[in-house]
Amino acid sequence: MYAQMVKSEATTDDPEKLAAFQARIDAGEKIEPKDWMPVGYRKTLIRQIGQHAHSEIVGQLPEGNWITRAPTLERKAILLAKVQDEAGHGLYLYCAAETLGVSRDELTEMLLDGRMKYSSIFNYPTLNWADMGAVGWLVDGAAILNQVPLQRTSFGPYSRAMIRVCKEESFHARQGFDAIRKMAEGTPAQKKMAQDAVNRLWFPALMMFGPSDADSVHSTQSMAWKIKMNTNDELRQKFVDQTVPQIEFLGLDLPDPGIKWNEERGSYDYSDPDWAEFFDVIKGNGPCNVDRLAARNKAWKDGQWVRDGLLAHARKKAARKVAAE
Amino acid sequence: MAAPLSKDEALVQFLLRMGDNTLILGHRVSEWCGHSPVLEEDIALANTALDLIGQTQMWLGLAADVQGEGKSADDLAFLRDVWEFRNLLLVEVPNEDFGRTLMRQFLFDAWHSIQLGHLMTSSDERIAAIAAKTSKEVAYHLERSADTVVGLGDGTPESHGFMQAALDYLWPYVGEMFVSDEIDAAMVEAGIAPDPASLRADYDTLVGRILADATLSIPESQFAHKGGRTGAMHTEHLGHLLTQMQWLQRAYPGASW
pLDDT per residue as tens digits for the range B87-124: 999 999 999 999 999 999 999 999 999 999 999 999 99
Is B56 a domain residue? yes
Put simply, the answer to whether B98 touches A303 (Cβ < 8 Å) is yes
With residues binned 3-state (H G I as helix, E B as strand, rest as coil), the percentages for chain B, rounded to 5, are 70, 0, 30
Min Cα distance B245 → chain A (Å) is 5
Chain A positions touching B150 (Cβ under 8 A) are: 313
Over 70: is that where the pLDDT of B61 sits? yes
Min Cα distance B2 → chain A (Å) is 33
Measure the CA–CA gap between A163 and A143, rounded to whole angstroms: 13
Measure the CA–CA gap between B223 and A135, rounded to whole angstroms: 48
CA distances from A242 to A142, A170, A184, A270 (A): 10, 14, 18, 13
Measure the CA–CA gap between A265 and A261, rounded to whole angstroms: 9
Going by pLDDT thresholds of 50, 70 and 90, the confidence category of residue A316 is very high
Which pLDDT value is given to residue B174?
98
Is B2 a domain residue? no
Going by pLDDT thresholds of 50, 70 and 90, the confidence category of residue A243 is very high
Over 90: is that where the pLDDT of A162 sits? yes
Going by pLDDT thresholds of 50, 70 and 90, the confidence category of residue B2 is low
Put simply, the answer to whether B53 touches A77 (Cβ < 8 Å) is yes
Residue of B nearest to A183 (CA): B257
Is B222 a domain residue? yes
pLDDT mean across residues, chain A: 94
Share of chain B above pLDDT 70, in %: 99
Residue of A nearest to B47 (CA): A84
| Higher-scoring residue by pLDDT: A193, A2 | A193
Over 70: is that where the pLDDT of A103 sits? yes
Min Cα distance B19 → chain A (Å) is 12
Put simply, the answer to whether A69 touches B244 (Cβ < 8 Å) is yes
Q: How many domains is chain B built from?
A: 1
Measure the CA–CA gap between B111 and B229, rounded to whole angstroms: 14
B189-225 pLDDT, tens digit per residue, is: 999 999 999 999 999 999 999 999 999 999 999 899 9
Put simply, the answer to whether B53 touches A76 (Cβ < 8 Å) is yes
Chain A positions touching B40 (Cβ under 8 A) are: 91
Residue of A nearest to B52 (CA): A77
Measure the CA–CA gap between B131 and B138, rounded to whole angstroms: 10
CB-based burial of residue A103 (10 Å sphere; 0-12 exposed, 13-18 middle, 19+ buried)? exposed
Of A68, A87, A316, the CB nearest to B30: A68
Over 60: is that where the pLDDT of B1 sits? no
Over 70: is that where the pLDDT of A284 sits? yes
Min Cα distance A42 → chain B (Å) is 24
Min Cα distance B153 → chain A (Å) is 8
pLDDT mean across residues, chain B: 97
- Looking at the complex, does the CB of residue B245 fall below 8 Å from at least one CB of chain A? yes
Which pLDDT value is given to residue A214?
77
Over 90: is that where the pLDDT of A10 sits? no
Is B238 a domain residue? yes
Is B257 a domain residue? no
Going by pLDDT thresholds of 50, 70 and 90, the confidence category of residue A202 is very high
Is B180 a domain residue? yes
- Contact pairs from chain A to chain B, CB under 8 Å: 153
CB-based burial of residue B190 (10 Å sphere; 0-12 exposed, 13-18 middle, 19+ buried)? middle
Chain B positions touching A86 (Cβ under 8 A) are: none
Over 60: is that where the pLDDT of A261 sits? yes
8 Å CB contact between A268 and A240: yes
Which pLDDT value is given to residue B107?
98
Put simply, the answer to whether A303 touches B148 (Cβ < 8 Å) is no
Q: Alpha helix locations (H) across A188-280?
A: 188-207, 219-224, 232-250, 275-280
Put simply, the answer to whether B43 touches A75 (Cβ < 8 Å) is no
Residue A101, phi-psi category: left (phi > 0), alpha (psi -120 to 50), beta (remainder):
left
Chain B positions touching A90 (Cβ under 8 A) are: 39
List all residues 6 or more positions away from A54 whose beta carbon is below 8 Å from its beta carbon. A90, A107, A111, A116, A117, A118
Min Cα distance A246 → chain B (Å) is 19
Residue of A nearest to B101 (CA): A306
SS (H, E, C) B44-98: HHHHHHHHHHHHHHHHHHHHHHHHCCCCCHHHHHHCCCHHHCCCCHHHHCCCCCH
Chain A positions touching B43 (Cβ under 8 A) are: 84, 87-88, 91
DSSP A155: B
pTM here is 0.95
Min Cα distance B29 → chain A (Å) is 10
Reported ipTM: 0.96
Please give the angle made by the CA atoms of B42, A90 and A57, to the nearest 5 degrees: 60
Is B232 a domain residue? yes
What's the domain range around B135?
7-251
DSSP B215: T
User: What CATH number is attached to the domain comprising B214?
Assistant: 1.20.1260.10
Which pLDDT value is given to residue A217?
65
Average pLDDT over residues B163-167: 98
Measure the CA–CA gap between A15 and A38, rounded to whole angstroms: 10
Closest CA to B76 of B134, B24, B137, B28: B24
A25-58 pLDDT, tens digit per residue, is: 999 999 999 999 999 999 999 999 999 999 999 9
Is B42 a domain residue? yes
Which pLDDT value is given to residue A2?
73
Chain A positions touching B151 (Cβ under 8 A) are: 309-310, 313-314
Over 70: is that where the pLDDT of A1 sits? no
Put simply, the answer to whether A186 touches B99 (Cβ < 8 Å) is no
Chain A positions touching B28 (Cβ under 8 A) are: none
Measure the CA–CA gap between A266 and A317, rounded to whole angstroms: 65
Cβ neighbours, 10 Å, residue A218: 20
List all residues 6 or more positions away from B196 whose beta carbon is below 8 Å from its beta carbon. B177, B178, B179, B180, B184
Residue of A nearest to B32 (CA): A64
